[in-house]
């Protein structure tokens, strides 16, 4: 287990992994509080499963990019440490399930040998930065957003400003105005633009999100210069960290902060915070990503006559010509996002001579292959067909997005994965013409929290339950009318009706039959839904919600044999708040040490933010001694003034707010960093003396 200490070259990464190993030992010995440990492991991509004693490991792949060697490394890891399965996610990550906690440091070290991380894939951090999978080859793109997405990933990874926020923070880059990365449901969404002077920049929207209460993002800039992008996002995160909710995790996203303070006030705070950002201009290295290795030669093959129609339909639905003429992108539809490791290895072996050495994971849990010469398409089809990877209808109605549901998730209410497979079968068998419809999507979540993105689907389902005959019935909430409009504008699906889960297939049939019968020619589902109105669909589906006609098998969820029970665990989508005084003092000491290290590196901005955290943790500990649990950092600052400074219980030269909030009044200089640090060190020293006196008394 210690081998990674000699195998890893990156000392920062090595120290990170050693620290995880030490914290696991401390947790096992009972010397670190369980909730503190949970927060720490989540920020290292380690997520507790529904099944006790095992973990889900989320691998963070910026904008879904992975090369052949990395893909094979992940497959090997899944075999050695997990269940032999790779699960592709809607945030372009890969997840491995059923991993022992004690083996996670070793697992992480082996991933890092091929430059793959799990750091900040979960927890109260900046999550995986996503982007349109077609970025770099999209015929409609003004420019490739991949280097910008990578710059954001690199800048915020291990950045002090976003390690322990109130909740997660999500960033997405779309490649064009088609907005295939769903910018409008992200904390920060970005769409590339070129202005009249030929300069690169981005349309910026902020404050979007899904979850149980989906909200659409607010447009902030029609054009923000490219070198202003990272400083702007940093300012947003700093405001979110200071003013965001921390006690009630259901209200702890940026969208709720905007709702609480108002957009104008949040923008004012963002502007105020810009003085303290690490840089004021951040040029993007457009050459940061090396071009993938292209196929060295062409491979010509024929298509079997029996497969000719299927091949032509596959070309029509899964293949497109890149902006690089003569080169083609090929999408692979992956059922419920699962790939067994033996299939993963065979997949790489088959495609290696035919495509470039770069795979992109897509937001609908599929794969994209790039730079396929036109003459290689028949050979690629034949190769993929051997492993069942030529399903037609990528990103169509037949390509259902789903979260893991009750298979592994603590919050899952229903089996969303089996339902997705069943609905796809209905479409292929009964509505084959819809495999060509890319304006109509089905998305499923096992609960209301939108991991399957049901809130942005034209037809969405989320797991729920109903009561009938004294028993609980597995149910789906039917959501209609959501989806992408374009250029940062989207629609949130509306809750229409709740029906037993086993009737979801009949819900789909009713909707599609009505759409085919009553939809006008060339009318998309959005127009059709708006024209008919929500009540029309409620009345259409109302007979399917009648519980007086329930059959015995409807008390059993899809993919199960036993009668349905709602068994919801504790969600781990983000870390919980630590309210133990001793833990907070320990955290303050730890952050003071981090600030010292940053000062030694002359990383002034990092040192200042670590120092700021010392003030917050120390003050929060003092407030908890009086039974006061502030829900935001700014609340902690104000409450400390009210309960300690104004009451004369603690003496400072001025207010605590004046002392702490120097952080956004000063440039991050060496002089200020040292002065701010000295103030925090003295403050913590006094807190510890006071704390010790209280314990003695």
**370-412 tens-digit pLDDT:** 999 999 999 999 999 999 999 999 999 999 999 877 666 766 6
Q: Determine whether 536 is exposed, middle or buried from the number of CB atoms within 10 Å of its CB (0-12, 13-18, 19+).
A: middle
Supply 202's token pair.
């981005």
* pLDDT tier for residue 575 given thresholds of 50, 70 and 90: very low
pLDDT at residue 8 in the model: 55
Q: Is the pLDDT of residue 466 over 70?
A: yes
- The single-letter DSSP state of residue 126 is B
**Mean pLDDT computed over every residue of the chain:** 92
Q: Quick count: other Cβ atoms within 10 Å of Cβ 98?
A: 18
Element housing 557 (H / E):
none
Q: Of the given ranges (66-80, 103-117, 464-478, 588-602), which has the lowest mean pLDDT?
A: 464-478
Note the pTM of the prediction, 2 decimals: 0.93
Q: Is residue 462 very low, low, confident or very high in pLDDT (cuts 50, 70, 90)?
A: very high
Which has the closest alpha carbon to 355: 290, 288, 289, 292?
292
Residue 580 pLDDT class (50, 70, 90 cuts)? low
Would you state the pLDDT for residue 693? 82
pLDDT, mean of residues 271-300: 91
The reported pLDDT for the residue numbered 577 is 37
- Backbone angles phi and psi of 458, in degrees to 5: -60, -40
| Whole-number pLDDT of residue 564 | 55
The Cα 603–Cα 162 span in angstroms is: 16
pLDDT of 1 reads 39
Which of 304-318, 662-676, 683-697 is predicted least confidently?
Answer: 683-697
Q: Which CATH class is domain 130-276?
A: alpha beta
CATH number listed for the domain at residues 581-696: 1.20.120.330
**Which one of 3.40.190.10, 3.90.480.10, 3.40.50.720, 3.30.360.10 gives the CATH number of domain 305-385?**
3.90.480.10
Which CATH code is given to the segment(s) 401-555?
Answer: 3.30.413.10
pLDDT of residue 562: 65
3-state secondary structure of 228: helix
| pLDDT value of position 2 | 46
Residue 563 pLDDT class (50, 70, 90 cuts): low
- CA-CA-CA-CA torsion for 594, 595, 599, 604, nearest 10 degrees? 120
Q: Are 406 and 564 in contact (CB under 8 A)?
A: no
| Cα separation, 226 vs 197, whole angstroms | 13
Instruction: Supply the pLDDT for residue 5.
Output: 47
Per-domain boundaries in the chain: 4-112, 130-276, 305-385, 401-555, 581-696
Q: Can you give the pLDDT at residue 408?
A: 65
Q: How confident is the model at residue 571 (pLDDT cuts 50, 70, 90)?
A: low
Range from 151-155, 326-330, 515-519, 578-582 carrying the lowest mean pLDDT: 578-582
Other Cβ atoms closer than 10 A to 433: 10
Task: For residue 225, list its beta bridge partners.
Answer: 201
DSSP 166: S
Report the distance separating Cα 234 and Cα 270, nearest Å: 9
Report the pLDDT averaged over residues 104-123.
95
CATH topology agreement for domains 4-112 and 305-385: yes
Higher-confidence residue: 170 or 577?
A: 170
**What percent of the chain has a predicted confidence (pLDDT) above 90?**
79
User: Per-residue pLDDT for 25 more than 50?
Assistant: yes
Tell me the per-residue pLDDT of 156-169, one tens digit each, with 9 for 90 and over. 999 999 999 999 99
Instruction: Output the CATH code of domain 4-112.
Output: 3.90.480.20
Model confidence at 12, pLDDT cuts 50, 70, 90, reads confident
């Amino acid at each position: 287990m210690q081998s990674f200490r000699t195998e890893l070259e990156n000392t920062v990464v090595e120290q990170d992994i050693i620290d995880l190993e030490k914290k696991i030992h401390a947790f096992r010995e009972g010397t670190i509080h369980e909730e503190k440990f949970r927060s720490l492991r989540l920020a290292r991509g380690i997520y507790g499963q529904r099944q006790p004693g095992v973990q889900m490991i989320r691998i963070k792949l910026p904008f879904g990019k992975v090369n052949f060697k990395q893909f094979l490394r992940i497959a090997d890891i899944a075999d050695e440490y997990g269940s032999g399965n790779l699960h592709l996610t809607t945030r372009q990550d890969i997840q491995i399930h059923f991993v022992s906690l004690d083996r996670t440091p070793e697992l992480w070290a082996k991933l890092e040998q091929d430059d793959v991380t799990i750091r900040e894939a979960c927890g109260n951090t900046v999550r995986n930065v996503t982007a349109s999978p077609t970025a770099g080859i999209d015929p409609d793109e003004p420019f490739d957003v991949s280097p910008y997405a990578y710059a954001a990933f690199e800048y915020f990874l291990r950045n002090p400003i976003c390690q322990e926020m109130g909740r997660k923070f999500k960033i997405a880059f779309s490649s064009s105005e088609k907005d295939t990365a769903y910018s409008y449901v992200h904390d920060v969404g970005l769409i590339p633009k070129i202005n009249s002077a030929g300069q690169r920049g981005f349309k910026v929207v902020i404050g979007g999100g899904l979850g149980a209460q989906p909200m659409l993002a607010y447009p902030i800039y029609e054009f923000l210069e490219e070198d202003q992008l990272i400083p702007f996002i940093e300012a947003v995160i700093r405001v979110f960290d200071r003013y965001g909710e921390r006690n009630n995790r259901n209200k702890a996203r940026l969208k709720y902060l905007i709702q609480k303070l108002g957009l104008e006030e949040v923008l004012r705070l963002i502007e105020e915070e810009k003085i303290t950002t690490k840089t004021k201009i951040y040029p993007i290295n457009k050459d940061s990503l090396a071009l993938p290795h292209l196929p060295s030669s062409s491979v010509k093959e024929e298509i079997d006559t029996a497969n000719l129609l299927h091949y032509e339909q596959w070309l029509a639905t899964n293949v497109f010509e890149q902006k690089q003429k003569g080169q083609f992108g090929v999408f692979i539809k992956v059922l419920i996002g699962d790939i067994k490791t033996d299939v993963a290895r065979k997949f790489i072996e088959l495609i290696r001579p035919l495509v470039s050495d770069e795979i992109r994971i897509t937001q609908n849990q599929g794969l994209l292959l790039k730079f396929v010469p036109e003459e290689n398409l028949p050979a690629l089809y034949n190769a993929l067909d051997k492993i069942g990877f030529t399903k037609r209808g990528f990103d169509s109605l037949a390509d259902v997005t789903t979260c893991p549901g009750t298979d592994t998730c603590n919050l899952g209410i229903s089996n969303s994965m089996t339902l997705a497979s069943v609905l796809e079968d209905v479409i292929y068998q009964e509505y084959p013409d819809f495999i060509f419809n890319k304006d109509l999507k089905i998305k499923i979540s096992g609960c209301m929290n939108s991991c399957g993105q049901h809130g942005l689907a034209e037809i969405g389902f989320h797991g729920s339950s109903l009561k009938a005959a004294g028993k609980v019935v597995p149910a789906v909430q039917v959501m209609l009318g959501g989806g992408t409009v374009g250029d940062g504008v989207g629609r949130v699906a509306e809750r229409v009706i709740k029906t037993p889960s086993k009737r979801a297939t009949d819900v789909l049939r009713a909707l599609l039959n009505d759409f085919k019968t009553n939809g006008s020619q060339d009318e998309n589902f959005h127009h059709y839904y708006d024209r008919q109105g929500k009540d029309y669909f409620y009345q259409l589906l109302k007979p399917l919600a009648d519980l007086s006609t329930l059959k015995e098998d409807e008390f059993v969820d899809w993919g199960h044999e036993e009668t349905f029970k709602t068994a919801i665990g504790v969600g781990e989508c983000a870390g919980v708040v630590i309210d133990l005084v001793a833990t907070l003092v320990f955290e303050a000491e730890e952050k003071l040490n981090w600030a010292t290290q940053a000062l030694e590196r002359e990383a002034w901005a990092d040192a200042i933010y670590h120092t700021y955290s010392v003030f917050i943790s120390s003050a929060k500990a003092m407030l908890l001694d009086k039974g006061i649990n502030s829900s935001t950092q700014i609340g902690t600052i104000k409450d400390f003034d009210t309960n300690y400074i104004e009451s004369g219980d603690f003496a400072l030269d001025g207010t605590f707010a004046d002392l702490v909030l120097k952080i956004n009044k000063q440039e991050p200089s060496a002089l200020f960093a040292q002065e701010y640090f000295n103030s925090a060190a003295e403050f913590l020293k006094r807190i510890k003396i006071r704390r010790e006196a209280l314990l003695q008394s």
